[in-house]
């Protein structure tokens, strides 16, 4: 078995993470059957295994939105080009990435449409028609769907011209309410990543140069991938009155005067699947957190031709017992491939627990259980394997969160000189450093080190402790923000 | 109360269905807050009340697909224009309706993209890469999302340039398997319409001239709206090997030879919301079938300022009891509008049951219950209203299906002469008639009467009994199909 396993691994496995992280990622996504390349420049095909993850994320979000009083709507995919130009910073940010529709049938359009890169503009336009009085507020809206932003180099899930999200858009009477909403949704994303995806992410505020095009304040959650790079895993923007002024989103206030609404927007996108892959993977492939895994348990009946029927039936019975316990199970009945191939395949695809069941196990009333994150197999009484499965899955979920948290802390260093800064970044770390807040300085640091500011962690957040004094690691000028800033290279 | 009610109805109600069906529809969609017009030609905004219906349909479908072994994927929204031309009938059918992307950022594309009007072509392209052996089949795929087909005249839900669906696409080894899938999905749609939406729809096969562009055989479900017009409410296509030949979707068969796959596609779209509105509405507005209604029960606390707090609390308690019984409830606490306004508003919005609860009711331990489809209110002990609510909702659901079925049967006439045919169509009926199967004749009938063939009902379906002999109602030639064809005007 171990021979054929080694052979299969060479043939069907992936480049080890430790050898080339980039190759590892690209191979894992395709070989785990999460997604594929498409004939459309920059666009991917999300395959069933990847879609099952995204559907789970999407439903979790929609249920949470409903719980918190948010309402779903569907706005057009197309936006009149002239809408984009109404908020000056917004169009500047998005113009180079726009897909433009210039023809319908044989008719050449006088006013082209763009495929939405995000929907603040068209939503602002509709809100202006729906909003009259402060009594109509807040608007708490979201839209699940696809958005379009040209990408020069495709990387499945991480950089695709079409990607998927639930974009939230809200309008409020006051700045305070809008800011509270912005932070509430940031916290929701943080908790979702932690509790569902086992992703420790750092909440913080973006520096001015990293803000969303048109925002007054952008908050983000930042995750650390296993190569030390950062992935911005979600954002929540306080847009002030920028879009409401551009689109005349105004209302009669309690004071009988006309006011512009304070608006927010926020989203987590299908990029997050890239974060799951790059945070939890290892040399063998994916490790999916049980709470998001399409299959939490895979059962491989260890059968020969002559007893295949019996072992399949046994596997189905075991699957039924696990399903009755609320667990998502798959029985692998593929023929023409070896058991060793199946084991490697499901490890590559990151299924949290594998159960092997063979004729001898059956006689003895046991099954062989292998956690994806363990080296060794265990032999357990069948009943115990079923009864203890949820606890086992919870333990794997907790393990993944702890492993990722440890990794993030170990690979974040606090520095006070630019030499240390550069060395740490070069070594693939995140850096905590004081900075003066100057845009030029940030740009220079990025040019010299390829590291940008991730965010300024919120008070109370990991790395978010306020600190007195300090001088900028780059310019030596007095530090801004009253605390250290997180820097790192990024996806 | 009755005075102010009348006043509000005039101000806030809709044109009665019986006065102008078209105005009634357009007003109901907007006033019931299902959808709104958008600044994008032909495109709508689906508002929260409409989205809640669509989300429920979408989840039902996705759950059903999963149950029957179908897998979700996401293919690009854009399709290379040259893909569309590979299946000759397909491009001919869709060319006039295509939204074409010719620019990305400032780059003018050498090869434009079109926004998908349907995804057979790009899915065929991907399948060709995924398919090797008969062992890989069947492919049972679906995709939830938006599609784009230019429309000259917008009608919310019914004719919009962007609409929503779950498009199913499957590939099979044999014609028989593909045909069985085509019919299975047709039956699934039929059962969904009947059991969830209370829509009686007629399953049948389309005549050649009404087939989907590129299909070998198109099956449809046809519903009758309350103005007697037909709405094609879902389709299921057997595509033969047309698309698999165009896109090289082939495999090595059991005989070691190369074969082209037999493919199918099928969908129900957001048009179906139009069918719900136009099948179940009445002069006052919508009547939503309880199983699909966002709110099954609305509670109006009949309160004055001095006891508002108490009555709201009482309404919340009642809502909690109903929720615990699995019922979707809304408490209407809007201030500044009269109770009469609220009653009319929720009748317009089609909520199946309204409960009024006032201080005197509270004292007596009763509530006032009004079914949307009843003329009279009932006064019931509170406990009884709660315990009997599910049964009440089931009865309303059954009532709506029966009412619609009766209407369909009453308004379908069997004719044997073209004079009768024209008179019946002019009177807004469906017609069952023999036809010779000639395309030219069909086209002439359509020109002369504005009625087209709906479908040829399947054996065993309502109106689907085989009949010997007969001559064409139009040409007098021998009848085709061995049974009568359904004709009617259509949306
Ligand atoms: Zn500085
Ligand atoms: Zn004829």
pLDDT at B12: 61
Q: What confidence category does residue B210 fall into, taking pLDDT thresholds of 50, 70 and 90?
A: very high
Asked whether residue B229 carries a pLDDT value surpassing 90, the answer given is yes
Report chain A's mean pLDDT, rounded to a whole number: 95
pLDDT at B6: 37
pLDDT at A5: 34
CA distance A140 to chain B (A): 10
Q: In the block, which residue shows the tokens 């009412």?
A: B403
CA of B466 to the centre of ligand 2 (A): 18
In whole angstroms, give the CA distance from residue A84 to residue B105: 13
Contact A433, A479 (CB under 8 A): no
Which of A215-229, A459-473, B218-232 has the weakest average pLDDT? A459-473
CA of B443 to the centre of ligand 2 (A): 10
Chain B residues with CB under 8 Å of A65 CB are: none
Total CB pairs under 8 A between chain A and B = 157
CA of A431 to the centre of ligand 1 (A): 14
pLDDT at A392: 98
Distance from the Cα of residue A355 to its chain's centroid: 29
Residue B132's Cβ-count burial label (10 Å; 0-12, 13-18, 19+) is exposed
- Domain residue spans in chain B? 59-273, 297-399, 411-488
Contact A112, B74 (CB under 8 A): no
Read off the pLDDT of residues A414-427 as tens digits, 9 standing for 90 and up.
999 999 999 999 99
Chain B residues with CB under 8 Å of A30 CB are: none
Asked whether residue B406 carries a pLDDT value surpassing 50, the answer given is yes
Asked whether residue A2 carries a pLDDT value surpassing 80, the answer given is no
Q: What is the pTM of this model?
A: 0.95
Chain A residues with CB under 8 Å of B146 CB are: 74, 77, 145-146
Residue range A411-488 forms a domain whose CATH class is alpha beta
Read off the pLDDT of residues B36-78 as tens digits, 9 standing for 90 and up.
999 999 999 999 999 999 999 999 999 999 999 999 999 999 9
pLDDT at A335: 86
pLDDT at A291: 98
Q: Residue B168 to residues B60, B61, B275: CA-CA distances in angstroms? A: 14, 10, 21
In angstroms, what is the C-alpha Rg of chain A?
25
Asked if B74 lies within 8 A of A54 by C-beta distance, the reply is yes
pLDDT at A12: 61
pLDDT at A479: 95
Asked whether residue A1 carries a pLDDT value surpassing 60, the answer given is no
Number of continuous H segments (helices) and E segments (strands) in chain B: 16, 24
Residue in A with minimal Cα distance to B74: A46
Who's near A146: CB < 8 A, 6+ residues apart?
Answer: A77, A162, A163, A164, B74, B77, B145, B146
Asked if A54 lies within 8 A of B44 by C-beta distance, the reply is no
Percentage of residues in chain B having pLDDT higher than 70: 98
Asked if B79 lies within 8 A of A40 by C-beta distance, the reply is yes
Buried b (16+ CB within 10 A) or exposed e, A76-89: bbbbbbebbebbee
Buried b (16+ CB within 10 A) or exposed e, A143-174: bbbbbbbbbeebbbbbbbbbbbbbbbbbbbbe
pLDDT at B368: 97
Tokens of B211: 């087939």
Asked whether residue A90 carries a pLDDT value surpassing 80, the answer given is no
Read off the pLDDT of residues A426-448 as tens digits, 9 standing for 90 and up.
999 999 999 999 999 999 999 99
Q: In the block, which residue shows the tokens 């259980």?
A: A369
Asked if B122 lies within 8 A of A39 by C-beta distance, the reply is yes
Read off the pLDDT of residues B144-184 as tens digits, 9 standing for 90 and up.
999 999 988 899 999 999 999 999 999 999 999 999 999 99
Percentage of residues in chain B having pLDDT higher than 90: 90
Cis (ω within 30 of 0) for the bond into A438? no
pLDDT at A213: 87
3-state DSSP assignment of residue B94: helix
pLDDT at B256: 96
CA distance A405 to chain B (A): 32
Asked whether residue A409 carries a pLDDT value surpassing 90, the answer given is yes
Which of A48-52, B130-134, B301-305, B427-431 has the weakest average pLDDT? B301-305
CA of A414 to the centre of ligand 1 (A): 16
In whole angstroms, give the CA distance from residue A211 to residue A237: 8
**Right CATH for B297-399 from 1.10.3430.10, 3.30.230.10, 3.40.50.300, 3.40.50.800:** 3.40.50.800
pLDDT at B2: 32
pLDDT at B8: 37
In angstroms, what is the C-alpha Rg of chain B?
25
Residue in B with minimal Cα distance to A141: B48
CATH superfamily of B59-273: Bira Bifunctional Protein; Domain 2 (3.30.930.10)
Q: What confidence category does residue A10 fall into, taking pLDDT thresholds of 50, 70 and 90?
A: very low
Read off the pLDDT of residues A249-276 as tens digits, 9 standing for 90 and up.
999 999 999 999 999 999 999 999 999 9
Asked if A55 lies within 8 A of B48 by C-beta distance, the reply is no
Write the DSSP string, A175-200. Answer: HHHHHHHHHHHHHHHHHHHHHHH---
pLDDT at A286: 97
3-state DSSP assignment of residue B367: strand
Asked if B38 lies within 8 A of A99 by C-beta distance, the reply is no
């Amino acid at each position: 078995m171990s021979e054929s396993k080694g052979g299969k691994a060479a043939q069907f496995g992936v480049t080890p993470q430790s050898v080339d992280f980039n190759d590892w990622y690209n191979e894992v996504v395709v070989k785990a059957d999460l997604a594929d390349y498409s004939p459309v420049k920059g666009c991917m095909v999300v395959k069933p295994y990847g879609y099952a993850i995204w559907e789970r994320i999407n439903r979790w979000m929609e249920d949470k939105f409903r719980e918190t009083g948010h309402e779903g709507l569907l706005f057009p995919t197309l936006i009149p080009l002239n809408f984009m130009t109404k908020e000056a910073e917004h169009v500047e940010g998005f113009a180079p990435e726009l897909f433009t529709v210039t023809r319908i049938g044989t008719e050449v359009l006088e006013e082209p449409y763009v495929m939405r890169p995000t929907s603040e503009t068209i939503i602002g336009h509709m809100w202006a028609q729906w909003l009259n009085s402060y009594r109509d507020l807040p608007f708490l809206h979201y839209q699940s769907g696809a958005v379009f932003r040209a990408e020069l180099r495709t990387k499945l899930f991480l950089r695709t011209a079409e990607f998927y999200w639930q974009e939230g858009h809200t309008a409020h009477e006051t700045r305070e309410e809008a800011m509270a909403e912005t932070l509430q949704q940031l916290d929701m994303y943080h908790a979702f990543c932690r509790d569902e995806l086992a992703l420790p992410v750092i909440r913080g505020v973006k520096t001015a140069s990293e803000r969303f095009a048109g925002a007054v304040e952008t908050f983000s959650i930042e995750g650390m991938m296993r190569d030390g790079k950062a992935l911005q895993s979600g954002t929540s923007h306080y847009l002030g009155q920028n879009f409401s002024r551009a689109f005349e989103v105004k209302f009669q206030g309690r004071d009988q005067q006309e006011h512009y609404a304070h608006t927010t927007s926020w989203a987590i996108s299908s990029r997050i699947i890239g974060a799951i892959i790059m945070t939890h993977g290892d040399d063998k492939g994916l490790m999916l957190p049980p709470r998001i895994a399409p299959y939490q348990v895979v059962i491989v009946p260890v059968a020969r031709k002559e007893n295949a029927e019996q072992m399949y039936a046994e596997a189905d019975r075991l699957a039924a017992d696990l399903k009755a316990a609320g667990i998502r199970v798959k029985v692998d009945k593929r023929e023409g491939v070896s058991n060793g191939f199946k084991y490697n395949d499901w490890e590559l695809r990151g299924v949290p627990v594998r159960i092997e069941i063979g004729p001898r196990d059956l006689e003895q009333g046991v099954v062989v259980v292998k956690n994806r994150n363990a080296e060794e197999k265990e032999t357990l009484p069948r009943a115990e394997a079923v009864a203890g499965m949820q606890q086992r899955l919870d333990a794997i979920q907790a393990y993944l969160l702890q492993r990722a948290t440890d990794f993030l802390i170990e690979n974040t260093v606090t520095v006070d000189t630019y030499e240390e800064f550069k060395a740490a970044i070069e070594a693939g770390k995140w850096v905590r450093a004081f900075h003066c807040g100057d845009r030029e300085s940030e740009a220079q640091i990025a040019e010299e080190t390829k590291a940008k500011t991730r965010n300024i962690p919120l008070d109370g957040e990991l790395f978010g402790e306020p600190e007195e004094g300090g001088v900028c690691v780059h310019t030596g000028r007095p530090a801004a923000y009253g605390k250290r800033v997180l820097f790192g290279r990024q996806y």
